[in-house]
Amino acid sequence: MDPTELERIARQIRLRDLQAVFEAGAGHIGGEMSVIDILTALYFRVLNVWPDQPKHPDRDRFVLSKGHTACALYVTLAKRGFIPEDEISTFLQPHSRLNGHPNCNKVPGVETNTGPLGHGLPVAVGMAIAAKLSGAKYHTYVVTGDGEMQEGSNWEAIMAAAQFKLDNLTLVIDHNRFQQGAALAETNDLAPLRPKLEAFDWEVSEINGNNMSEIVPALEHRGSRPHCIVAHTNKGHGISFMQDRVDWHHKVPSKEQYEIALAELSEAL
């Protein structure tokens, strides 16, 4: 699938995500909009996965460590055929399996439970080591938030990945420059991320994480060390009044704001 087609799918996913958050009256829309291009490239181009066999042993592993953006993952999984598309309307409803954070025991295609920040990367390192030990050929991808990189557990995992020479592991950091309630620069500023990862002996690429032509080759890159993609993104990408505004971490649009956002995203389709 070429970048133009991937961009079209990403816009459809953004639109469905916006509708789901508006209808549920909750969600983490800012970080969903920033990561949707990366999710689209993974599921519609890069990952070897089979929706009718979600536990196929040869499947590539994908961990959405920033589990609060679960809705974006559900919409992507639905569009790719893992779950019915009309199930998205149950997001956050009583008895729905589409909870606020992804649950691998309920949702086909969800590789591991996430939500508490700082756990997805350590689990992904375990998956990559397991492949090395068993001779499996799958690749493991994990997406963290940039605020999430403040969790110390991530840096233990980064050390372990270098030690075990995990050339079968790709970490994407969704570097949207905002966390919850603040900009990274105002709290525990980790930028620039590249020299820190390089100091731990990782290979590092820096890309525009909202540009399909840069995302795809970075995800498809294979080297001899663990690979980190520092993906420069915009929180709220695609919706003008949300972009780079700290309050849109988990704010829900009013009816008027919803109509404006809907029009902006539909125009781009």
Ligand X SMILES: Cc1ncc(C[n+]2csc(CCOP(=O)(O)OP(=O)(O)O)c2C)c(N)n1
Name the residues that contact ligand X, by CB under 6 A. Answer: 28, 30-31, 34, 66, 68, 115-118, 145-148, 174, 176, 178-180, 235, 249
67 near Mg ion, judged by CB under 5 A: no
Smallest separation, CB 190 to Mg ion (Å): 10
Tokens read off for 244: 């780079």
Centroid of chain to Cα 173? 9
Q: Which is nearer to Mg ion, 60 or 146 (CB)?
A: 146
Smallest separation, CB 94 to Mg ion (Å): 30
**Bridge-based pairing state of the strands 169-175 and 140-145:** parallel
Return all residues near 43 (Cβ < 8 A) that are at least 6 apart: 49, 62, 76, 77, 79, 80
- Distance from C-alpha of 152 to C-alpha of 259, rounded to nearest angstrom: 41
- Distance from C-alpha of 230 to C-alpha of 170, rounded to nearest angstrom: 11
145 near Mg ion, judged by CB under 5 A: yes
Residue range at the interface with Mg ion (CB under 5 A); choices 54-62, 90-98, 175-183, 194-202:
175-183
Q: Which is nearer to Mg ion, 109 or 147 (CB)?
A: 147
32 near Mg ion, judged by CB under 5 A: no
Judged by CB under 5 A, the number of residues near Mg ion is 5
Residue 158 to residues 2, 96, 119, 132, 163, Cα–Cα distance (Å):
32, 35, 12, 17, 9
Smallest separation, CB 119 to ligand X (Å): 8
What percent of the residues of the chain are helix, what percent strand, and what percent coil, each to the nearest 5? 45, 10, 40
The CB density around residue 121, as the number of other CB atoms within 10 Å, is 28
Q: Which is nearer to ligand X, 147 or 238 (CB)?
A: 147
**The entry of Mg ion, ligand X, none that residue 122 binds, CB within 5 to 8 Å by partner kind:** none
Instruction: Judge whether 125 and 160 are in contact, CB under 8 Å.
Output: yes
Residue 59 to residues 48, 148, 164, Cα–Cα distance (Å):
6, 26, 21
**The entry of Mg ion, ligand X, none that residue 66 binds, CB within 5 to 8 Å by partner kind:** ligand X
Return all residues near 45 (Cβ < 8 A) that are at least 6 apart: 1, 6, 216, 219
Q: Which is nearer to ligand X, 209 or 226 (CB)?
A: 209
Q: Which is nearer to ligand X, 151 or 168 (CB)?
A: 151
The CB density around residue 119, as the number of other CB atoms within 10 Å, is 21
Smallest separation, CB 235 to Mg ion (Å): 6
Q: Which is nearer to ligand X, 131 or 253 (CB)?
A: 253
Smallest separation, CB 131 to ligand X (Å): 26
113 near Mg ion, judged by CB under 5 A: no
Smallest separation, CB 145 to Mg ion (Å): 4
- Distance from C-alpha of 114 to C-alpha of 128, rounded to nearest angstrom: 17
Q: Which is nearer to Mg ion, 176 or 210 (CB)?
A: 176
Smallest separation, CB 235 to ligand X (Å): 6
Q: Residue numbers of the site for Mg ion (CB under 5 A)?
A: 145-147, 176, 178
